[in-house]
Amino acid sequence: MSERDGDGADAERDRAATVDAIVDVVADSAEDIRSGLVGRRGKAGRENPSGEVQAEADVYADDLLEERLSAIDGVAEYASEERADVIDCGGSAADPDAVAVAVDPLDGSSNLEPNNTMGTVFAVYDEPLPAPGTSIVVSGWVLYGPITTMALARDGTVTKYELSGDEPTVVEEDVTIPDDPLVYGFGGRVPDWPDDFADFARAVESDPSHKLRYGGAMIGDVNQVLTYGGIFAYPALDGSPRGKLRLQFEGNPIGHLVETAGGRSSDGSRSLLSVEPNELHDRVPLHVGTAELIDRLEATLE
Ligand code: P6P
């Protein structure tokens, strides 16, 4: 997958067609996932590879996306936050222009009980997984809010869609994160924050121009930061120095989309896209938002 042979133009065309098919499947599956949440808010009786108890809806969304995405010609690998190993999608792995899809099928499933926002996060990588965020071709998320929407980063630009009709409706093109930070949301528990992050958080919170917005699902909180400007962080914790969120399925796609929209991402010292993965389910301290606040964060954590 990582070698390129044959005519470059053909290769690009083939890969673009594969990416089109992936985006179509994720968009077309949104209503099936959304409607499938009903009756699946309970626990599935097993844990994901990160040791978190799965909701029935986590398993449902993952099975649905694995079946549909792995059937696409050109998709060589499927991986998800809910599965221990990368799924080899068969014959397409022989295609030198194949891609790998990494999915957080239902981000924020802890929001099922309070019926708060959740989403599906995905990234298309052009090399085998685990892979650094620099190899992402397309990233995006679907948000199951009052309206089902999608944000997509492709070819250097971010587009927002509404998914309520038969076809996705473009609602905003060339989306850029506002320069002036307005909202902030920090995950984890305050007593578990390292002192340097706690100092940064206090400085952000004490700024009268900032407003707290934390919904408990990274994707809803990040979408607010993309919309209003600000910062979302799930930092390193005293008991978990790599934080909680996963690099392949959350940090990389979120970092790629926010950076494509003119924002910045950081693990505390570098872009999330520059973090070299060791394992498929590596965790990463995740900070994304307006450049001003990420600069201030990195200065504080030095
Ligand atoms: P906590 C959801 O389970 C998730 O992975 C993210 O979407 C969210 O930001 C985080 O965990 C919430 O974690 O520790 O606040 O429940």
- Candidate CATH numbers 3.40.50.720, 3.40.190.80, 2.70.98.60, 3.30.420.480; the one for domain 183-301: 3.40.190.80
pLDDT in tens, 238-276: 999 999 999 999 999 999 999 999 999 999 999 999 999
Which residues are bridge partners to 185 per DSSP? Answer: 232
Q: In the prediction, which pLDDT does 4 show?
A: 46
How many C-beta atoms lie closer than 10 Å to residue 47's C-beta?
A: 12
Checking if the pLDDT of 24 tops 70, the result is yes
At 126-154, the pLDDT tens digits run 999 999 999 999 999 999 999 999 999 99
Listed residue (50, 82, 48) closest to 283, CA to CA? 50
Considering only CA atoms, which residue is closest to atom 14 of ligand 1?
188
C-alpha of residue 73 to centroid of ligand 1, in Å: 33
- Residue 107 in contact with ligand 1 by CB distance below 6 A: yes
In this predicted structure, the answer to whether residue 2 has a pLDDT above a threshold of 50 is: no
With contact defined as beta carbons under 8 Å apart, do 79 and 102 qualify?
Answer: yes
- Mean pLDDT across the stretch 72-86? 96
| Eight-state DSSP code of residue 133 | G
Domain positions in the chain: 8-172, 183-301
Residue nearest to atom 9 of ligand 1 (CA): 218
Q: Is 251 in the pocket of ligand 1 (CB under 6 A)?
A: no
Whose C-alpha lies nearest to ligand 1, atom 16?
A: 216
pLDDT, tens digit, for every residue of 179-217? 999 999 999 999 999 999 999 999 999 999 999 999 999
106 is in an annotated binding site: yes
pLDDT tens digits, 87-122 = 999 755 556 688 999 999 999 999 999 999 999 999
Superfamily (CATH) of domain 8-172: Fructose-1,6-Bisphosphatase, subunit A, domain 1 (3.30.540.10)
Residue 169 to residue 160: CA distance in whole angstroms? 8
Residue 9 CA, ligand 1 centroid: distance in Å? 42
